Structure 1
Amino acid sequence: MTALPAWNMLKGKTAAITGGTTGIGRAIVLAYITQGCNVAVNHLGLPRDEVHRHSLLEEAKVLERKGIKTGEILELSGDVTDPETSTSLVQQAVSQWGKLDIFVANAGVFKQAELLKIEPALLDHSVDVNIKGSFYSCQAAARQMVKQGHGGSIIGISSVSALLGGGLQAHYTPTKAAILSMMQSMAIALGKDKIRCNALMPGTIATQLADHDMKNPTKMAALEERIPLGRIGAPEDMAGPAVFLACEDMSRYVNATGLLADGGMYSKLQ
């Protein structure tokens, strides 16, 4: 399911995204190709994730069969904690379509853990994927965009968790705050090159990373009560904001900001 009609808002553009076969990343891929954008999609390439890769490609074919003139998908495996993964992703996108206009640093990990029981391995993995992986991928995209000389849009997937603490998230919330800060600093560094850098900050979204909450009726009810719109977000709810931040015509003066898309949850303090 896509959240936006095929308005060709990204027609002729090239994008690359990390972690693009599931959850929010997948929704963004489908939204981008529906808008006419060609997308290079990174994924880990694990055997257990093959079902997601195949279903993404099949969903793209379904859009085509509906008569939508979609962009193309190029999918590549690799771990974002290795800088070469993002360098290769960008190079392959440029080799296939001649340029890179949009980059989305989406790959991320989260596993609930009690503060006093967090082991170094879990903290290191969270930092390696969420912070270092995002940095390496955005840096690779920025290098290509600077070389091209015609600007671009870099989007880091942060979270409402960049602004709020969580008792079981002490190893996670700092990584999402880092992505927001990273986009702000990159926007300053790359402004002279007409490259806009922004963070998309989802609230509670029904993805694999939130399975622990989605399977707990009590937790679900508490979350829904806290959200003024009265529902948990769907990955497709992030498609529109991601298209907005990518589209030069709509967001050309939006830079160094965090776009909060949480159904109003952050504001409901009482």
Structure 2
Amino acid sequence: MLLENKVVLVTGGSRGIGAAVAVESARQGADVAIHSNRGGEVAEEVIREIEALGRRAIHVEGDVAAFESAQTFVDAAVEAFGRVDVFVSNAGICPFHAFLDMPPETLKRTMEVNLHGAYFMTQAAANQMVKQGNGGSIVAVSSISALVGGEYQTHYTPTKAGVHSLMQSCAIALGKHGIRCNSVLPGTILTDINKDDLADPKKREYMENRIPLGRLGQPDDLGGPVVFLASDLAKYVTGAALLVDGGMFVNLQ
């Protein structure tokens, strides 16, 4: 019960990595608030899983890229649970597209969701933690793409590098308040973001062969690492980045 009686907020929490982190946080004793855009029935499934574990949960719907969504989410969590102990910035998109004819609106939307949204949400959560006065933990889901390029991800990789950099700077800015800021860098995880790209058996086999552990990641592979960074087991860890990629990055070097 590494997060016993903590309150955890997760963006992009209705599916994929965010849902897995939300459920694992509940399994470790936390009450959980999830935020998603168009969550609907999928979000309700996550809520039911959390409640089945004996913890409380709420879902807040909104566009993570909108500045006002951040304060709305934090306020809803405080109203429901009284405080914010852990914030997980996970929401992100990656509409694969070639570089030379990248539509401006695709670039803009990816930047707004992945980077601006992470910034606004982290800022709102941090302000609540500072107001409470007893520290906290912020974990951002970056990506191995912060460290390596991708032909069809020229709009995406800069945002994930930015999220990692944001956590490094926030670790400095918020350390005096007892707030730790870290990032996890997932490798290739089977989520809605890449399900179409990996539908080709040859492409999937190629990706698997690049991973020393021999398989693609599952969303729940991120639950433990995020909980660890959020918990007191990592009480002297801040400004760090944890690769969760089955060894892909070291194999690519």
Q: Identify whether the pair has TM-score above 0.5, normalized to the shorter chain.
A: yes
CA distance in 2, matches of 1:56, 1:15: 14
Match of 1:242 among 217, 223, 226: 226
Q: Deviation per CA, 1:221-240: give whole Å up to 9, x if none.
A: 11110000000000000000
Q: Deviation per CA, 1:112-131: give whole Å up to 9, x if none.
A: 10111101100000100000
SS in 2 for 1:209: coil
Task: Let me know the Cα RMSD of the aligned residues.
Answer: 1.2
Deviation larger for 49-58 or 184-193: 49-58
Q: Deviation per CA, 1:132-166: give whole Å up to 9, x if none.
A: 00000000001011111110001111000000000
Q: Deviation per CA, 1:224-263: give whole Å up to 9, x if none.
A: 1000000000000000001101102x10011001111000
Contact kept, 8 Å, 2:182 with 2:240, in 1: the verdict is: yes
How far the C-alpha of 1:56 sits from its partner, in A, is 1.6
Match of 1:25 among 7, 10, 18: 18
Whichever residue aligns with residue 130 of structure 2, its letter is V
Partner of 2:31: 38
CA distance in 1, matches of 2:252, 2:146: 16
Match of 1:183 among 147, 164, 167: 167
Contact kept, 8 Å, 1:10 with 1:35, in 2: the verdict is: yes
Whichever residue aligns with residue 57 of structure 1, its letter is I
Contact kept, 8 Å, 2:47 with 2:59, in 1: the verdict is: no
Match of 2:185 among 185, 188, 201: 201
CA distance in 1, matches of 2:199, 2:48: 27
How far the C-alpha of 1:216 sits from its partner, in A, is 1.1
Whichever residue aligns with residue 92 of structure 2, its letter is G
CA distance in 1, matches of 2:168, 2:196: 31
Whichever residue aligns with residue 95 of structure 2, its letter is K
CA distance in 2, matches of 1:254, 1:57: 30
- Aligned-pair identity in percent equals 44
How far the C-alpha of 1:200 sits from its partner, in A, is 1.0
Whichever residue aligns with residue 109 of structure 2, its letter is H
CA distance in 2, matches of 1:136, 1:33: 25
Whichever residue aligns with residue 28 of structure 1, its letter is V
Question: Does 2:94 match 1:104?
Answer: no
Match of 1:163 among 128, 134, 147: 147
CA distance in 2, matches of 1:206, 1:94: 32
Change (3 A) 1:269 1:82: closer
Question: Does 2:247 match 1:264?
Answer: yes
Q: How many residues align?
A: 253
CA distance in 2, matches of 1:54, 1:91: 20
Partner of 1:53: 43
Question: Does 2:127 match 1:146?
Answer: no
CA distance in 2, matches of 1:186, 1:204: 26
Contact kept, 8 Å, 2:47 with 2:58, in 1: the verdict is: no
CA distance in 1, matches of 2:40, 2:95: 22
Partner of 1:227: 211
Contact kept, 8 Å, 2:185 with 2:241, in 1: the verdict is: yes
Whichever residue aligns with residue 138 of structure 1, its letter is T
Give structure 1 regions of 4+ aligned residues with deviation exceeding 4 angstroms.
Answer: none
Partner of 1:3: none
Whichever residue aligns with residue 52 of structure 1, its letter is V
How far the C-alpha of 1:71 sits from its partner, in A, is 2.0
How far the C-alpha of 1:76 sits from its partner, in A, is 0.8
Contact kept, 8 Å, 1:127 with 1:175, in 2: the verdict is: yes
Stretches of structure 1 that go unaligned for 5 or more consecutive residues are 1-7
Whichever residue aligns with residue 38 of structure 1, its letter is D
Contact kept, 8 Å, 2:187 with 2:244, in 1: the verdict is: yes
How far the C-alpha of 1:199 sits from its partner, in A, is 0.7
CA distance in 2, matches of 1:269, 1:237: 20
How far the C-alpha of 1:58 sits from its partner, in A, is 3.2
CA distance in 2, matches of 1:183, 1:26: 21
Whichever residue aligns with residue 46 of structure 2, its letter is L
SS in 1 for 2:93: coil
CA distance in 2, matches of 1:76, 1:269: 39
Question: Does 2:59 match 1:75?
Answer: yes
